[in-house]
Amino acid sequence: MAMLNQHLIDPQICIRCNTCEETCPNDAITHDANNYVVKAQVCNGCMACVPPCPTGAIDNWRQVSEADAYSIDAQFAWDELPSQQSTAQQGAGVSVPHRLEHLLDSGSDVLRGASAPPWSAARPHVNLYTQNAPATAVVAGNYRLTNETADSDIHHIVLDFGTTFFPVLEGQSIGVVPPGAAPNGRPYHARQYSLANPRDGERRGCNNVSLTVKRVIRDHDGNPARGVCSNYLCDLRKGDRLAVIGPFGSTFLMPNHPGSHLLMICTGTGAAPMRAMTEYRRRHQCDGAAGRLMLFFGARTPQELPYFGPLTNLPKGFIDADLAFSRVPGRPKRYVQDALRERAADVGPWLADRNTHVYVCGLKGMEEGVLLALRDIAQRHGLDWQRVWADLRREGRLHLETY
């Protein structure tokens, strides 16, 4: 009997972030309104989707006979994974592909960012709380960050965990479970939000975190749409309680060795992890953190830039911040990749330095432009981009998070 090591996604943990579907080089992953699922006949076990999955939901395998492989329709209907059938039914010699090593050895270009954290990153806690067993947080504050006249409504939301253990690191994210049910009657799935606070709390020494949330009022095509979770979060009041899952993320983490430099490139709410890392370094400046910080931060207008005020107040010797605006009347459009190119003389030597760690976060559309700009800058400085690219990824020094 031909056996198959069938790749499955755990619907109880999956937060429907679409990362796996975008990553899979074989179009083996699809979804409906309920679940993300894997096409058994298409998946070749290449493992490209496993490291980027923020929850680990993707890393499930069941040994079944080929004739009994779970169909797409069966997977769409699941609320939980089926258990593994008895070992007597399992085929001998069917091996689970070995994930990370395979990817790194294959030289695959599919996994665009690094699949490993920086060598000196602290060890993160992940998946402590799940959709079935979430943590409860209390809203300690909810402030609009963007100017009232600005088109985009971005909030800074502080959540307090009281005496609940909820350890986080800069660059990690959490999931928020909106109350209520989707039109199909099922509970809403959790949405993911990057943390904007350093590990020692939004307020130093407190068991709290902060989020940078943009109220979604239009879909990606510009049509009116009321985003379920972002509107729920932006409307929360001080004292409200909410269900939180996570923390997530074990690679987009900051280095801790003193000489490490952070090259941070972000747009909009992608500022959240950059704020977390910057604040951590600011708080610990006196603890020997000698590395430098360079930030490229893009928004349509200055009014739409979260954390604009505090950022411009930080001394240049601590952080070299370059702000790029794409919709200021009377001024040419300037995107983060334009700013990077203009600062090639400063960025080039950083790319040659193995202490440099690059973080890109924000709108999906920025990724390609930013990577092309980095490539061009490397080449202008006589660096072999393929080599730089490979080193950055292998050494956990290039991290991308776009949504």
251 vs 393: CA distance, rounded Å: 11
Residue 308 C-beta: closest distance to ligand FAD, Å: 16
Three-state secondary structure readout of 25-90: CCCCEEECCCCEEECCCCCCCCCCCCCCCCCCCCCEEEEEEHHHCCCHHHHHCCCCCCCCCCHHHC
Give bridge partners of residue 262 from the DSSP assignment. 293, 357
193 lies in the binding site for ligand FAD (CB under 6 A): yes
Residue 190 C-beta: closest distance to ligand FAD, Å: 9
191 lies in the binding site for ligand SF4 (CB under 6 A): no
* Residues between 29 and 48 with contacts to ligand SF4, criterion CB under 6 A: 29, 36, 38, 43-48
Which is nearest to 63 in space by CA: 98, 94, 29, 38? Answer: 94
Tell me the number of residues near ligand SF4 by CB under 6 A.
28
Residue 95 in tokens: 């091996």
279 vs 59: CA distance, rounded Å: 34
Instruction: Yes or no: say if 265 and 370 are a contact pair by the CB < 8 Å rule.
Output: yes
Instruction: Out of 156, 214, 397, 399, name the contact with ligand FAD by CB under 6 A.
Output: 214
Instruction: Out of 23, 131, 142, 230, name the contact with ligand FAD by CB under 6 A.
Output: 230
Q: Which is nearer to ligand SF4, 28 or 339 (CB)?
A: 28
Does 194 appear as a known binding residue? Answer: yes
Considering only 92-100, 190-198, 287-295, 350-358, which stretch makes contact with ligand FAD by CB under 6 A? 190-198
Instruction: Yes or no: say if 251 and 117 are a contact pair by the CB < 8 Å rule.
Output: yes
Does 367 appear as a known binding residue? Answer: no
24 lies in the binding site for ligand SF4 (CB under 6 A): yes
245 lies in the binding site for ligand SF4 (CB under 6 A): no
Task: Write out the H or E segment, with its range, that includes residue 401.
Answer: strand 398-402
Does 316 appear as a known binding residue? Answer: no
Which parts of 102-225 are beta strand (E)? 135-144, 154-160, 173-177, 191-194, 208-214
235 lies in the binding site for ligand FAD (CB under 6 A): no
225 lies in the binding site for ligand FAD (CB under 6 A): yes
Instruction: Yes or no: say if 218 and 224 are a contact pair by the CB < 8 Å rule.
Output: yes
Task: Write out the H or E segment, with its range, that includes residue 294.
Answer: strand 293-299
Binding-site partner at residue 212 among ligand SF4, ligand FAD, none, CB < 5 to 8 Å by type: ligand FAD
* Residues between 155 and 184 with contacts to ligand FAD, criterion CB under 6 A: 173
57 lies in the binding site for ligand SF4 (CB under 6 A): yes
> How many other CB atoms are there within 10 angstroms of residue 318's CB atom?
13
Q: Give the list of residues 6+ apart from residue 326 with CB closer than 8 angstroms, or none.
A: 298, 299, 300, 333, 334, 335
Which is nearest to 271 in space by CA: 310, 223, 233? Answer: 310
Considering only 82-90, 224-232, 283-291, 346-354, which stretch makes contact with ligand FAD by CB under 6 A? 224-232
49 lies in the binding site for ligand SF4 (CB under 6 A): yes
Beta pairing, strands 261-267 & 293-299 = parallel
Task: Write out the H or E segment, with its range, that includes residue 390.
Answer: helix 385-394
403 lies in the binding site for ligand FAD (CB under 6 A): yes
7 lies in the binding site for ligand SF4 (CB under 6 A): yes
Q: Which is nearer to ligand FAD, 28 or 157 (CB)?
A: 157
Does 362 appear as a known binding residue? Answer: yes
Residues in the annotated binding site for NADP(+): 194, 214, 269, 326-327, 333, 362-363, 401
Residues near ligand FAD (CB under 6 A) are 17, 54, 173, 191-194, 212-214, 216, 219-220, 225, 227-231, 269, 272, 401, 403
Residues near ligand SF4 (CB under 6 A) are 7, 9, 14-20, 23-24, 26, 28-29, 36, 38, 43-49, 53-55, 57-58
